[in-house]
């Protein structure tokens, strides 16, 4: 019962293959009360929410919409009286910003990728800050942005910004008892990954080279790391990036 009594807000549940779905599932199994947010097809998120151990309420949230962000705290209070943790599993880049067209991508599409995938981390933190007067844990998901990847292009730049933004949040929110950490997962066949042209280029290398091996369809190890960071077992850890990639990041050639 690692999260017994915790109140957790989870964004990014789309299908049962979503990392966020297993975060919500494991969090409930570990004793947490979970509230979900959904964007776009809310009925789909609500249907998936019923497949959790306990059906979780779903709040509409476009993390780039100032009005919805301003209303988020009050909407969450309709289900819980505060939060102990927030999970940011939000990312998007237009097709022109992915797939090898890095040099041709117009600024407008780059701006969209950065707004949704980077700035939304800070925006979500500030929107939920009133719900965490006694501190809490914010955890986001990244894909190793210390190197350039084939086809990942401007999403890689956006993830680099996300990793930096997490460190700045750690700096500015630490005196309020709020931790900010990221989990850097290896490639997983989620809906988001399937939308990236050529993403399969990562897969063969990862499964062959990761010291611990790598299962492209198993989001549970990543979700467990997120839940661990949401718990009280990392009380002095902030601004950190935990790799859950089978050890691939530690290798050279």
Lowest-confidence segment of 4-18, 52-66, 197-211 by average pLDDT: 197-211
What does the pLDDT look like over 175-189, one tens digit per residue? 999 999 999 999 988
CA distances to 12, 31, 116, 147 from 87, in Å:
8, 16, 15, 24
pLDDT at 41: 84
Whether the pLDDT of residue 194 is over 70: the answer is no
Q: What is the pLDDT of residues 73-97, one digit of tens each?
A: 999 999 999 999 999 999 999 999 9
pLDDT digits (tens, 9 = 90+) for 41-52: 899 999 999 999
pLDDT in tens, 156-179: 999 999 999 999 999 999 999 999
Around Cβ 253, how many Cβ atoms within 10 Å? 3
Residue 204 has pLDDT above 80, yes or no: no
**Residues 179, 136: Cα–Cα separation, whole Å:** 6
Cβ partners under 8 Å of residue 128, min gap 6: 9, 72, 73, 76, 83, 86, 138
Average pLDDT, the chain: 95
Catalytic positions are 152, 159
What pLDDT is stored for residue 201 in this prediction? 72
Q: Which residues contact 230 (CB under 8 A, 6 or more apart)?
A: 3, 6, 8, 27, 32, 84, 85, 87, 137, 139
pLDDT at 202: 72
Query: Which residues 6+ apart lie within 8 Å of 234 measured at CB?
Result: 137, 179, 181, 228
Least confident of 9-23, 30-44, 200-214: 200-214
Q: In the structure, what pLDDT confidence band is assigned to residue 128 with cuts at 50, 70 and 90?
A: very high
- CA distances to 99, 144, 154, 202, 234 from 151, in Å: 4, 14, 9, 10, 34
Distance CA 175, CA 232 (A): 17
For residue 7, pLDDT over 90 is answered with yes
Average pLDDT on 60-75 reads 98
Confidence at residue 205, expressed as pLDDT on a 0 to 100 scale: 83
pLDDT greater than 90 at residue 54: yes
Joined together, the tokens standing for residue 49 give 């929410």
Q: Is the pLDDT of residue 71 over 70?
A: yes
């Amino acid at each position: 019962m690692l999260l017994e009594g915790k109140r957790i807000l989870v964004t990014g549940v789309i299908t049962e293959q979503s990392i966020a779905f297993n975060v919500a599932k494991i969090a409930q199994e570990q004793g947490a009360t979970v509230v979900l947010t959904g964007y776009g097809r809310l009925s789909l998120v609500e249907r998936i929410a019923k497949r959790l151990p306990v059906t979780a309420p779903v709040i509409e949230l476009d993390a780039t919409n100032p009005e919805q962000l301003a209303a988020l705290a009050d909407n969450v209070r309709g289900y819980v009286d505060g939060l102990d943790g927030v999970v940011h599993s939000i990312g998007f880049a237009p097709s022109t910003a992915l797939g090898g067209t890095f040099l041709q991508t117009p600024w407008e599409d780059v701006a969209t990728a950065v707004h949704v995938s980077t700035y939304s981390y800070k925006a979500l933190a500030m929107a939920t800050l009133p719900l965490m007067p006694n501190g809490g844990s914010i955890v986001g998901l990244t894909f190793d942005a210390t190197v350039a990847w084939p086809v990942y292009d401007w999403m890689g730049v956006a993830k680099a910004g996300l990793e930096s933004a997490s460190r700045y949040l750690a700096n500015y929110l630490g005196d309020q008892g709020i931790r900010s950490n990221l989990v850097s997962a290896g490639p997983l066949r989620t809906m988001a990954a399937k939308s990236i042209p050529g993403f399969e280029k990562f897969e063969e290398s990862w499964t062959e080279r990761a010291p611990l091996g790598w299962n492209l369809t198993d989001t549970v190890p990543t979700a467990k790391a997120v839940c661990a960071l949401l718990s009280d077992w990392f009380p002095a850890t902030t601004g950190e990036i935990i790799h859950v990639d089978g050890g691939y990041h530690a290798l050279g050639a």
